[in-house]
Amino acid sequence: MAANVRASNVRTSIRVEGVVQGVGFRPFVYSLATRLGLAGWVGNDVDGVFAEVEGPAEQIRDFLAALERDAPPLARVERVSAQPMSPDGCPGFAIVASDTGGRRRALVSADSATCADCLRELADPADRRFGYPFINCTNCGPRFTIVAGVPYDRPLTTMAGFTMCAACAAEYHDPADRRFHAQPVCCPACGPRLRLLAADGTELSGPDGAAEDALARAAGVLAAGQVLAVKGLGGYHLAADAASDQAAARLRSRKHREDKPFAVMAADLAAVRALCEVDDVAAALLASLRRPIVLLPRRDGTGPGPGRLAGSVAPGNRQLGVMLPYTPLHHLLLRDFGRPIVLTSGNVSDEPIAYQDGDALARLGGIADAFLTHDRPIHIRTDDSVVRPFRGREAVLRRSRGYVPEPLAVAGRFARPVLACGAELKNTFCLGRGNHAFLSHHIGDLENYETLRSFTGGIAHFRRLFDVEPQIVAHDLHPEYLSTKYALEQDGCVLAGVQHHHAHIASCLVDNGEPGPVIGVAFDGTGYGTDGTIWGGEFLLADLAGAERAGHLAGVPMPGGAAAIRQPWRMAAAYLDAAFPGGLPAGLDVAARNSDTWPDVLALARRGVNSPVTSSAGRLFDAVAALLGIRDTINYEGQAAVELEQLAATSRCDPYPAAVTDGQPLTVAGSDLVRAAATDLLAGVPREVIGARFHQGVATMIGEACGLLRDRSGLGTVALSGGVFQNLLLLGTVVDLLERRGFRVLTHSRVPPNDGGISLGQAVVAAAWDRAGRLPN
């Protein structure tokens, strides 16, 4: 023992795992240790943060307690382990250099909205970053979207090209500064520069290129009713005055987006409250550092005043997607413009969002009148996340910017690393390693080359970032999914094909931290069944390792195959034919509207020619939407069902009855609901009431089927998953009804119920098979 070691002192070696790098964890440890009078050091390595602290035992205890409790806002501490060691008596506390060798296990954090400290500086004329659109610190700013590699250090971010000025470098190297090791730290003297460009790329901001000038002119573009492209964190957005009918309509027609609602960005909570009903949960979601788009019930919005919204922003929708500014640039633009703006992804139609400057100018040049842009590159395209409050908690519908790449903890370990390739639409992929599932950002619909490139490039990026070399590749059973084809091309890996609806229920189990078994209700549009038919209205007895198809909607033909997905009236024909086997009643408008082809489509359905049989719940909603004259053809996936939900009265009505036939598997006659709806329609019952009775009928039918399955299996927990449960009216009604019947009900919270959650489900099913020894070595 060295001479200067105090006998009462102890020394402890500490390791902290989780999202602890690039989030100010070392300075936090440094200031905590110095405040408690402890000696030692702290550093980063491939596993996270490690430290040794020495001092009186009581202070060490306080230190350990504060490590998790007072961690910086962007840190996610997963584990703290402490080991006693012999004191060495060295005084002082130091931050030591990063050790970058070995396997990388530290986690990159998600992008974060501008923090309150930075906002204060942004608004302070005396601050050297006053009005600077790229202000950030250890507690806020870009992360995932600028990281090109690990370890997370400036040379491996898109800030590598900006050399810090002396003032920024001093802050960066000062452990007591709130910008210590903030990799994107910069200022007007050394950092990215804002510019306003015309659609042809010529510079519109003043000769000195001052940010104020570019911003003021950009606000002028919005005020003139024009379309402004804005470079954000994960890509370009298109912005327009949300109160201007002309501006919103112009954006809609140029973007070739016919009906899908636009999201709106408002300056603060008060501005959102003028547009929407905001309760405490919604306010917390809006103001969180993740800053997602939050779907909220909208106010009327037709009159003048701050709540005014152009009719074409979210036509025919009771909900509105709203978000608060999340970059300094957004804050400044909203301040200068003074009103809410439409802020929608910078793309044409269904293409992926533009994120590279040249590509953005080329692709958006025909849509935007001007570009508010800058020279900090975006490394990876990342869309805004979409959430909504449901029963007092967050329910994520699209998990992307602000959430990714934060891992989801899973109870069952990945014995071998897994890559899960996800579904075809709303694709995400997922990497599994140890107790972590790295669910990717929203990739999109894998139908065009650009999206497929995002998919393959994203997988390569995640594999590098998290150092995962997959030994198992999980995929959907659908042979035509591009994600399946990609999986089958991977050499030297064990393949695990996971049924689509099993993956849905497994993702809901992981979301709730439960292993099952449960009664799984998976209702969606399309999923490949184990019998080669198209499933989508499924009752499964499932846990992570297995699923038995215990019930489903009775099959109906899809006349014309995929054409029946794009043209819901074809499903109305098929369902009406099943509902009225003796012949269709006269006077149905849906038949009259489509009289040219109606007889041929009926004939297709009856003969089974080019008419695959489906148990899809999405197609049942489509049929009723078309029957009610809501929509005969769709412009985006799920549109008819979305509009049926919006039309339906929310007041309680008597449910339509549907026969549930017990059996192995049990079947539910969706055609009973269609017959009741058609009969009411011909009797002149208002469509709002028919829509409500239909929703109640679907919920009642789910309740009855679950009751029969509980009798059979003894299971009292129901997990609800699949895109159909994005329907808030249906979801709320089903949860109420099941709880009244004494069920425990699991719904989605952290993971989307739609196909964005499929890859996570695939990953944990494959891991369960692996743990059970059911996969080859």
Give kind and range of the element (H or E) at residue 16. Answer: strand 9-19
Give kind and range of the element (H or E) at residue 622. Answer: helix 617-627
Closest CA to 704 of 675, 730, 737: 737
Closer of 72 and 515 to Zn ion (Cβ): 72
Closer of 192 and 235 to Zn ion (Cβ): 192
The upper half-sphere exposure of residue 67, i.e. CA atoms within 13 Å in the direction of its Cβ, equals 26
CB of 74 vs Zn ion, minimal distance in Å:
10
CB of 111 vs Zn ion, minimal distance in Å:
12
Closer of 118 and 590 to Zn ion (Cβ): 118
Q: Is the dihedral of CA 723, 112, 110, 73 positive or negative?
A: negative
CB of 392 vs Zn ion, minimal distance in Å:
29
Render 590-619 in DSSP notation, one character per residue: HHHHTTTTHHHHHHHHHHTTT--EE--HHH
CB of 155 vs Zn ion, minimal distance in Å:
17
Beta strands in 159-274 (DSSP E): 194-198, 228-231, 236-241, 263-265
Closer of 132 and 414 to Zn ion (Cβ): 132
CB of 168 vs Zn ion, minimal distance in Å:
3
Closest CA to 654 of 703, 707, 706, 700: 700
Q: How many CB atoms are located within 10 Å of the residue 323 CB? A: 24
Characterize 540-555 residue by residue with b for buried, 16 or more Cβ atoms within 10 angstroms of its Cβ, and e for exposed. bbbbbbbbebbbbbbb
Closer of 5 and 289 to Zn ion (Cβ): 289
CB of 307 vs Zn ion, minimal distance in Å:
31
Sequence-separated (6 or more) residues with CB below 8 Å from residue 344: 237, 238, 251, 255, 257, 262, 263
Contact 418, 474 (CB under 8 A): yes
CB of 146 vs Zn ion, minimal distance in Å:
15
Closer of 55 and 191 to Zn ion (Cβ): 191
CB of 300 vs Zn ion, minimal distance in Å:
37
Encoding tokens for residue 269?
């909570």
Closer of 74 and 386 to Zn ion (Cβ): 74
CB of 330 vs Zn ion, minimal distance in Å:
14
Angle (CA) 400-406-412 rounded to 5° is 115
Closer of 140 and 767 to Zn ion (Cβ): 140
Characterize 713-740 residue by residue with b for buried, 16 or more Cβ atoms within 10 angstroms of its Cβ, and e for exposed. eebebbbbbbbbbbbbbbbebbbebbee
Contact 597, 530 (CB under 8 A): no
CB of 215 vs Zn ion, minimal distance in Å:
20
Query: Which amino acid would we find at residue 4?
Result: N
Token pair 């140029």 in the structure block, residue: 254
CA distance 468 to 472: 11
CA distance 439 to 398: 11
Closer of 175 and 225 to Zn ion (Cβ): 175
| Residues 745/750/753/758 CA torsion (nearest 10 deg) | -120
Query: Which amino acid would we find at residue 63?
Result: F
CB of 123 vs Zn ion, minimal distance in Å:
13
Closer of 157 and 454 to Zn ion (Cβ): 157
**Interaction site with Zn ion (CB under 5 A):** 115, 118, 137, 139-140, 165, 168, 187, 189-190
DSSP 8-state assignment for residue 668: E
Closer of 137 and 410 to Zn ion (Cβ): 137
Contact 618, 534 (CB under 8 A): no
CB of 327 vs Zn ion, minimal distance in Å:
11
CB of 88 vs Zn ion, minimal distance in Å:
37
Closer of 324 and 408 to Zn ion (Cβ): 324
Compute and round to an integer the Cα radius of gyration of the chain. Answer: 28
Sequence-separated (6 or more) residues with CB below 8 Å from residue 470: 417, 418, 419, 431, 463, 490, 493
Closer of 110 and 137 to Zn ion (Cβ): 137
CB of 136 vs Zn ion, minimal distance in Å:
6
Closer of 164 and 518 to Zn ion (Cβ): 164
Render 635-658 in DSSP notation, one character per residue: SSTTHHHHHHHHHS--S--PPPP-
Estimate to the nearest angstrom the gap between the alpha carbon of 584 and the chain centroid.
43
Strand partners, 626: none
Between the two ends of the chain, the Cα-to-Cα distance in Å is 51
CB of 23 vs Zn ion, minimal distance in Å:
11
CA distance 672 to 578: 9
Closer of 165 and 198 to Zn ion (Cβ): 165
Token pair 């992804």 in the structure block, residue: 345
